[in-house]
Amino acid sequence: MFATLNKRLHRQQGKFFENAARRYLERQGLRFLEENVAFKGGELDLIMLDGETFVFVEVRQRSHTQFGSAIESVDNRKQACWLHAAELWLAQKQLSFEDADCRFDLIAFGKNVHDMEWLPNFLDD
């Protein structure tokens, strides 16, 4: 029972921070396309459009840094899943990294929405 409740609260908290990130990016001029797009092996939290550029946004939040910050939590494995999910999303649109302008942004939150950092081009090659 507690595990189910904890999972539900975690999902609600994630949704709260994703909504805050979306509102912030829209205020910066980006246009919302989709959210929580799941594929086997990866999920895209937010997909935005910045002009002609598809922006795949990872939203991370950490209340405590004992296991690392929100930024540090995006390890190589997570980055590979993020890239793979974006590749699958583009393929659904008959696009690829070769013919679509894309970027990968990270929005990292601390304890609350006021403790936020936007890192455009987080996966800059």
Structure tokens at 25: 């990016």
pLDDT recorded at residue 114: 81
Structure tokens at 15: 């949704």
Residue 6 clears pLDDT 70, i.e. is over it: no
Q: What is the spatial distance between Cα 53 and Cα 30, in angstroms, rounded to a whole number?
A: 10
Give whole-number Cα distances, 80 to 25, 72, 74, 94, in Å: 24, 15, 10, 21
pLDDT recorded at residue 61: 82
Q: Is 45 exposed, middle or buried (0-12, 13-18, 19+ CB in 10 A)?
A: buried
Q: What is the spatial distance between Cα 92 and Cα 113, in angstroms, rounded to a whole number?
A: 33
Residues 14-35 have a mean pLDDT of 94
